[in-house]
Amino acid sequence: MITDNKDYILKEELIYWIDKEFIQWRAKELFNNELNDEELEKIKKYVESGLGHCVFEIIDIAIKEAKLLNKIL
């Protein structure tokens, strides 16, 4: 179960999520160290901004591909 400000979201209800653990793992892969709280806040803003610009395009493509594949099969 994922919690944030007392709101509960079941993992089964999510399509995709990015958590701090994943970001820290990636930072260790790229720079061989973890990020501090200030860096994590900046990354959160960058990711939210980046996804905000393209999320509908990505979802639309995924839906169209799934529907096309369904028709082919």
Q: For 20-70, how does the pLDDT look when each residue is reduced to its tens digit (9 = 90+)?
A: 999 999 999 999 999 999 999 999 999 999 999 999 999 999 999 999 888
Cα 40 to Cα 21: distance, rounded to the nearest angstrom? 11
Domain definitions of the chain by residue range: 2-72
- What residues contact 33, with CB distance under 8 A and at least 6 apart? 27
The reported pLDDT for the residue numbered 3 is 55
Does this model's pTM top 0.75?
no
